[in-house]
Amino acid sequence: MTTETSAPATSDADTTVAAPATPGDSNAPGEDTAHGPSTGISNTKLAMWLFLGSECLLFGGLISTYLLYKTRRGPDNLAIPTDVFDIPFTSISSFVLLMSSLTMVLALAALTRGDNHGARVWLLATSMLGGVFIGGQVYEFTSFLREGVGFTNNPASSAFYALTGFHGVHVSLGIVMLMSLFVASWQGKLRQEHSETVEVVGLYWHFVDVVWIFIFTVIYLVPA
Amino acid sequence: MSTTTSAHEAAADGAPEDAAHEHPEHEHPSDWAYVKIALILAVITAVEVFTYFETVLDWGSFLIPSLLIMMVIKFWLVATWFMHLKFDNPIFSKMFVGGLLLAVGVYVAALAAFEFWA
Amino acid sequence: MTITEPTIEGPKTEGPLELESGREAIAERPLGVLTRPQGGRGWRDWLSTVDHKKIGIMYGVSAMVFFVVGGIEALLIRLQLAVPNGGVLSADVYNQVFTMHGVTMVFLFIMPLAAAFANYLIPLQIGARDVAFPRLNALSYWVWLSGAIFLNSSWIVGGGGADCGWFCYSPNSGVTFSPSHGVDFYAIGLLIAGIASLVSAINLIVTCLNMRAPGMDLFRMPVMTWMLLITQFLLLFALPVITVALFLLMFDRLFDASFFNPDMGADPLLWQHLFWIFGHPEVYIIILPAFGVVSEVIPTFSRKPIFGYTFMVFSGIAIGFMGWGVWAHHMFVSGIGPISVAAFSLSTMFIAVPTGVKVLNWLATMWGGQIRFTTAMLFAVGTVAMFTIGGLSGVTHALAPADTQQTDTYYIVAHFHYVIFGGGVLGLMGGLYYWWPKIFGFMLNERRGKVNFWLMLIGFNLTFGPMHILGLQGMSRRIDTYSSGFGFEFWNMVATIGSFIIAVSVLVLFHNIWKSKREAADLPPPGPDPWDARSLEWMVPSPVPEHNFDEVPTVESLDEWWHRKYSFDDNGKVVQIATAEEAAQDGSAKGVHLPAPSFWPLVLAVGLPLIGYGLIFNLWLCVPGGLLVGMGIFAWALEPVDDPDATHDHDGHDDDDDDHDDDGPDDAELAAAPAAPGDSTAGAPAAPGDKQGGE
Amino acid sequence: MLFRSGPRRRRRPEGLILGLALLLTGCAADAELDTFQDQSETARQINDLAIPVFIVAGVVLVLVCGAILWMSIKNRVPADDDYEGEFPTQISHNNRLEIGWTLGPFVIMVVIAVATLVTHLAINSTEANAIEVEVDGQFETWEPRVVVVGQQWWWEYRYYLTEDVTTDDLGDPWNLPEADIVTAGQMVIPTGEEVELIITSRDVIHSHWIPALNGKKDAVPGLYTPWKIEADEPGVYFGQCTEFCGLSHSRMRMQAVAVTRSDFQDWIHAQMTSATMPTDENSAEYRGMQVFSNFCASCHLVNGLNDGDYNGAETVSGSAPDLTHFASRTTFGGGLFNTYNSDGSLNDDDLAAWIRNPNDVKENYADDLPEGALPRGMPDMGLSERQIDDVIAFLATLGPRPTHAQILATEVE
Ligand code: HEA
Ligand code: HEA
Ligand code: CUA
Ligand SMILES: [Cu+2]
């Protein structure tokens, strides 16, 4: 049995040397040895990525619910969303959302270069594209309702509206954020130094887009 | 267009670095590179939608796998390029991919419990 | 994970904590009463504080309040079951009481108590001034509290508590079978509380990864911090799952959807999967902080380093991972197929392996040590023994065939109280005794502490030990009464007596706190390091000054603080190189800039329950609720930007005295902590401001 | 009488545990739900798996606690922090040891896992044999199979003797195909035969559990879960619903009555005989029948009385116990009350109390309902005492009386 006897990690000598200076003399008031983030990465960005990781489980749950229920018509055999999908229409709005990722990343690129005006334009474009997508979703929902697919019809339609509705709410919040950035930019408060803020909002926006990439394929295109 | 990874790796030796390294501005791709990615995305989407319309080719059992593959490629392109995972600190990828894989694993197992192992 | 690059020093671009000194001019206050508070004395300070220590204390105090609430519910349960055909509670009330007991204890007592330790200790143990996002931290406390109050308000305004059991299986949770509003409160209350935990999980993970002191590699972090970090990851990924489940339940109940209604063709097992995909990680969320406490207390009082630090950390990580693959062991008899049952049975068993590593490493830490049985140590050792009992009964459930006999009996109730109370609660009690002097600046009396411990240990075993027997004798759980003739009488009476002994022990704890506080004036202060401990929080004065560290320490090894006091001579013997008093900081730093307090988290948190009541009673109520939330978010995001002084980037305030708990009203500046728009669900536009000024 | 060993019970080498368990269960003289009193092959297989693991767990526990105690005594030093002894050797780790106690438990768990799988397969496989039963003078081969339906707060057992009804034929639990025999609260099975159970529910989730015979299985609405049951010896085996199912979950009990093959045949005969309706217009039974038609027939089925126009009960679950052979059953109200007194006479007291107001003796949600809501449980019908007596008299005519021995054996507290 090899029992190692030692202080972990460092040699004792080092440890001793590292003993802190006596309080009072070495650290004068205000001489706070500030230290940056230990990993050197931005807190806000890291937080956003963690949040997006967690969102994967949220959307995963909603998507699984839909997949489990997608053909369940309930006892009255009512219509389910797949009956009334309008693939051409949804393809267009999916494409719009996809392209909004491009405008988003261009907004960020512009701002990082210091091109405030370009950033503003692209931000506006992004939120408009998002707005078109939401408009399309509102249209889709109302036409589905007209065609008899109501939220309370059956498990399939409840699950469909819950999933796409949650996604829509995410997009809408994204639009609110983008518009806030746009307004800030307009007021001249959004400048090159703020590109990280735009980047973080962008991450959120792209995430919402990739979720839709998933939804579009798995919910709309994969045949029942 | 430089795709060098962050300066943080260089920091691994523990030497205190100066401010420039502290918050490195990555050399991001040019706008044109982004547009190219978007074009690829557009093309893939077109192919996806095409599978829905065209009736001549018989996709048969290839349909679903090819749709899923195209989906993964799109997902990956957006995440690596537009979300900069390709250029950014790998910690970000770890956090995100961790959540993603966990979600896939857990929910696939749960759905399997309903469908196949029932 | 290999995120181990040493800390980089240099001007930071992030983080509220590195602030320029100097007093800022008082800014305009465009917001009237809600002007950014300056910090003050008394209760207003607590309402607006963003200090992780105060937030930790508030979490802890609130948790103890709910412990009493949940405990009184438990006592009612035990009174009802003391004798056959008990008549203390009606069946209806009994069902509400045990449901609310479970919900209260899990979500409103033990999780927030663990959150209290996480908030208080993580920054201190990694050598940071605060968490990464101080205002988000305040938000998480206030949101949790509003969720907790909301949940319990159903006793008064909801027609009673939820009556569906803490895992609230559908369709029993549907409106048909639970027509009162209790379950609505359950769903919305837990959703609100979930936001809190999610926010704080993100915050604390970023803190652990990004705010470490120079030299504080991940593998120099104390085991406590590690376990808390793993807990935060579990929360991060588990909460969205129950969020989905609760939303769907809410849609079913309030908007007539059909997610869980079998009449509509839904599958009731969906709820079970979603709940337990969350629920099993949840039980490790409960136990890992206690494991952390034990891993700090045992080395300190054995005068040895933790045995096998690396194994300790990796077994914790392994538990965290494996915890995701076992959820259906709660569903062995629920009608999932035999293949699923077999798969989950096997995966469950192997969790015993990493957990066993922990238990055995603790024993090895004590082995050959010099064990000082302080109250904290008694609790820690008690935790090891009691948790082992609970873990072993857990292994017997993992055998799916055996579990068909055990599930939903008191044998399960015995299991989970042994792990939750015997592991989680005893462990955190140990933490309370251990860190009390650090947090409050006076020691809890040891003699009364030991009375507290022994009463609790005895009462606990008398209460829950017999439940093993009752369960195997066939007593089902969640029954409001039982007949005589099944042989349940004797042990039920014993259990009831035991539960009152626990109650007495809790009263002894409260008495001890009160009395020790009064006696403290006559006793010498505990000093920075009363226990001769090992980690960084013991190098700052007790109680911890508001700015934590006078100077952020540079870390050279695991157990940094111990190595600043002791070294080895040529023969490998331990020699003292400095006393604690010599090595410690004296809390005298001046001009350290701390993030400024804010009222917005509180405003935002008040809005959420209003939305909740609105959803249940009258949608119009959602309007003021939504306005409050929206206002909170926007004002929060704009706080720094609105401030003409924001060019200074960070506010600071002079800490004129080293008193930990207030700043004079005079050192006011309006400048803002950098906005922390991490919570994008809330739709906060990210506020510019970290790197540079506004205008 | 713990561990009353049945004749077919094998001896097991767990004298130690047995003694310990006896000690712990103390005065549990008649613990009818005791999981250790296994009376069937399946229950024994489960205990054969569980008990050795209990022993392993006990050993681990003794080792862990022993080590703690030993160190507490041997390594203890005064707690006051002035203790100035020399430091113990600072051992920080030992990889070999640690790998050892990672692998040790791992190996133990592998062994347990294999045993678990074996038992799991065994208790989830069926080897039911078809048996001959005589129904209405015809001999039928019957795959022993009972459809078990839970609802708030009682169990229904359905026997399909004349045709082979499997899960696929059942449709939804609210419209099950008509069965030959329908009982409530008591399931009668022939001894020594494996009987397949198909378990489902008509409202919330319940769980069917007869501890002496087998583990539980949930009754999930919309799902048919397979399970099985068998008993070595004739006898009465108590059970309890074990999934929380609302208000009277604690009062949702049942019994499995195992009888010999010939007794089983007799029971079939009795159950297959329709109830005969009273004809003497002046008799209490006749008046009771009228009361029943007026007040009870909207929920309860009595073959020969209302089977023509019966469409299920006006309750949330759409069901109420089939009372055609009510008097042949020895318990009622979800296994809660005795239909007969110990002396063999009808238990009018409990019956009257039940009909007077069920909610008083077994809590339910059947009275004072909001508009449009259906009852869960049986409502207070507001009958006069006279009507109650009459209806009891009528109920007593429904089906042949059980034997006195049976009454005594199945008695509940
Ligand atoms: C703190 C919370 C906590 C913890 C840590 C655990 C830990 C474990 N739990 Fe427990 N569990 C609960 C809380 C917890 N549980 C709750 C609340 C419920 C009920 C929920 C409800 O229904 O209301 C429950 C229910 C529950 C069930 C479902 C029972 C049922 O309803 O039918 C099962 C089944 O497998 C189970 C198993 C386990 C296992 C295998 C562990 C393992 O992690 C234990 C591992 C530990 C050890 C094994 C001891 C130490 C190890 C050694 C000393 C090494 C040597 C050991 C061996 C070789 C065996 N638990
Ligand atoms: C952290 C988790 C936790 C904790 C600490 C406890 C603590 C206790 N639990 Fe709890 N319990 C659960 C979690 C917990 N429980 C869960 C999840 C369930 C399942 C619920 C369900 O089935 O849905 C459950 C179920 C449960 C049951 C089963 C109910 C049933 O199935 O019908 C019982 C029965 O005895 C019980 C008892 C107790 C007792 C006696 C305590 C005691 O340890 C409590 C001790 C505390 C006190 C006694 C309070 C002390 C304070 C005072 C006394 C102050 C007095 C003040 C004034 C007078 C002003 N619990
Ligand atoms: Cu039925 Cu519990
Ligand atoms: Cu579990």
From the CA of C238, which ligand is nearest?
4
Task: Identify the CA nearest to D144 among candidates D207, D186, D187, D177.
Answer: D187
> In chain B, what is the straight-line distance between the N-terminal and C-terminal CA atoms, in Å?
53
In the predicted model, residues of chain A with pLDDT beneath 70 are 1-37, 224
Mean of per-residue pLDDT scores for chain B: 75
Gap between the Cα atoms of C11 and C598, Å rounded:
25
pLDDT beyond 80 at C459: yes
Query: Hey, how many other C-beta atoms are within 10 angstroms of the C-beta on B29?
Result: 21
| Ligand 1: centre distance to CA C269 (Å) | 21
**Ligand found nearest the CA of C344:** 1
Which of ligand 2's atoms lies nearest the C-alpha of C110?
1
Residue C679: inside a domain: no
Domain count, chain A: 2
Percent with pLDDT over 90 in chain A = 67
Other Cβ atoms less than 10 A from the Cβ of D284: the count is 17
Residue type (1 letter), A109: A
Instruction: Name, in order, each residue with C-beta under 8 angstroms of D253's C-beta and a sequence gap of 6 or more.
Output: D185, D238, D239, D240, D241, D334, D335, D336, D412
Angstrom distance (rounded) from CA C79 to CA C88: 7
Cα–Cα distance between C170 and B88 in angstroms, integer? Answer: 44
Q: pLDDT in tens for each of the 118 residues of chain B?
A: 333 333 333 333 333 333 333 344 456 678 888 899 999 999 999 988 888 876 666 667 788 888 899 999 999 999 998 888 888 888 899 899 999 999 999 999 999 988 776 5
> What was the pLDDT predicted at C48?
84
**CATH topology classification for D284-409:** Immunoglobulin-like (2.60.40)
What is the rounded average pLDDT of the residues C471-485?
A: 93
> Within this chain, do residues A27 and A53 fall inside the same structural domain, yes or no?
no
Helix and strand totals (H; E) in chain B: 4, 0
Hey, are the CB atoms on D90 and A2 less than 8 Å from each other? Answer: no
* Ligand 2 pocket residue status of C555, Cβ below 6 Å: no
Give the whole-angstrom CA distance, residue C36 versus residue C27: 10
Residues C248 and C285 in one domain: no
pLDDT at C63 over 60: yes
What is residue D411's predicted lDDT score, i.e. its pLDDT? Answer: 86
Q: How confident is the model at residue B117, as a pLDDT? A: 65
Whether residues A34 and A78 share a domain: the answer is no
CA gap D339, A167 in Å, rounded: 59
Give the end of a domain, one of C248, C266, C284.
Answer: C266
The pLDDT assigned to B55 comes to 64
Instruction: Single out the residue in C498, C516, C537 at which a domain terminates.
Output: C537
From C8, C269, C336, residue closest to B11, measured CB to CB = C8
Report yes or no: C269 and D223 within 8 Å, Cβ to Cβ.
yes
Domain check: are C239 and C292 in the same one?
no
- How sure is the predictor about C11, in pLDDT bands with cuts at 50, 70 and 90? very low
Please state whether the predicted TM-score (pTM) of the whole model is above 0.80: yes
What single DSSP character describes residue C578?
S
Query: Measured between alpha carbons, how far is A35 from C284 in angstroms, rounded to an integer?
Result: 33
In chain C, what residues touch D34 (CB-CB under 8 Å)? 472-474, 487
The residues facing D331 across adjacent strands are: D338
Q: Which fold has domain D142-271?
A: Immunoglobulin-like (2.60.40)
Query: Could you state, in order of their start, the residue ranges of all structural domains in chain D?
Result: 1-73+105-125, 142-271, 284-409
Residue A113 shares a structural domain with residue A72: yes
Closest chain A residue to the Cα of C273, Cα to Cα:
A61
Phi/psi of residue D382, each to 5°?
Answer: 65, 35
Site to substitute for ligand 2 among C73, C76, C83, C105, most atoms within 8 A of C-beta: C105
- Quote the domain boundaries for residue A15: 1-41
Task: Answer whether C105 contacts ligand 2 (Cβ < 6 A).
Answer: yes
**Distance of alpha carbon C207 from alpha carbon C225, whole angstroms:** 11
CA distance C459 to C455: 6
Are residues A182 and A144 part of one domain?
yes
Quick: pLDDT tens for A72-106.
998 889 999 999 999 999 999 999 999 999 999 99
C474: pLDDT strictly greater than 70: yes
Q: Are residues A107 and A184 in the same domain?
A: yes
Q: Is C422 within the bounds of a domain?
A: yes
Q: Looking at the predicted structure, is the pLDDT value of residue C658 above 80?
A: no
Total domains present in chain C = 2
Question: Could you give the 3-state DSSP secondary structure of residue C476?
Answer: strand
DSSP result, C55-110: HHHHHHHHHHHHHHHHHHHHHHHHHHHSSTT--SS-HHHHHHHHHHHHHIIIIIII
Average confidence score pLDDT of chain C: 86
Considering the domain boundaries, does residue C658 fall inside one? no
pLDDT value of position C6: 39
A81 and A171 share one domain = yes
pLDDT of residue B29: 79
Output the CA–CA distances (angstroms, integers) from residue D150 to C82, C483, C485, D209, D300, in the order listed.
29, 21, 25, 12, 16
Domain co-membership, A21 together with A63 = no
Residues of chain D with pLDDT below 50 are: 1-16, 18-19, 22, 25-29
Is D92 within 8 Å of A7 when comparing Cβ atoms? Answer: yes
How many other CB atoms are there within 10 angstroms of residue A26's CB atom? 12
Q: Encoding tokens for residue C167?
A: 């895992």
Q: Report the pLDDT averaged over residues C140-163.
A: 94
Residues C291 and C256 in one domain: no
* Cα–Cα distance for residue pair D300/D321, rounded to 1 Å: 6
Measured between beta carbons, the chain C residues lying within 8 angstroms of B112 are 340
Question: Are both A86 and A191 inside the same structural domain?
Answer: yes
Same-domain pairing of C301 and C255 = no
Is D44 close to ligand 3, i.e. is its CB under 6 Å away?
no
- Percent of chain C surpassing pLDDT 70: 85
User: C288 in a domain, yes or no?
Assistant: yes
- Please name the residues between 340 and 399 in chain C that touch chain D, using a CB distance below 8 Å: 341-342, 345-346, 349-350, 352-354, 356-357, 359-361, 363-364, 366-374, 377, 381, 384-385, 388-389, 392-393, 395-396, 398-399
Residue C117 lies in a domain: yes
On whether both C299 and C439 belong to a single domain, the answer is: yes
Q: How many CA atoms lie within 13 A of C679 on its CB side?
A: 27
Q: Quick one: A112 and A144 in the same domain?
A: yes
3-state SS of C426-471?
Answer: HHHHHHHHHHHHHHHCCCCCHHHHHHHHHHHHHHHHHHHHHHHHHH
Domain that holds residue C312: 273-537
pLDDT for the residue numbered D126? 84
d(CA D165, CA D290): 35
Asked if A171 and A197 sit in the same domain, the reply is yes
Co-location of A13 and A113 in the same domain: no
Whole-number CA gyration radius for chain D: 27
What is the distance in A from the centroid of ligand 1 to the CA of C351?
9
Residue A97 sits in the same domain as residue A176: yes
Q: Is A217 helix (H, G, I), strand (E, B) or coil?
A: helix
C260 and C285 together in one domain: no
CATH code of the domain covering residue C153: 1.20.210.10
The predicted pLDDT at position D401 comes to: 87
Q: What count of residues does chain A have?
A: 224
DSSP C615-683: HHT-GGGHHHHHHHHHHHHHHHHHTTTT-GGGGG-S------S--SS---TTS-----PPP-TT-GGGT
Report in angstroms the alpha-carbon separations of C370 from C154, C365, D74, D78, D367: 51, 10, 9, 9, 68
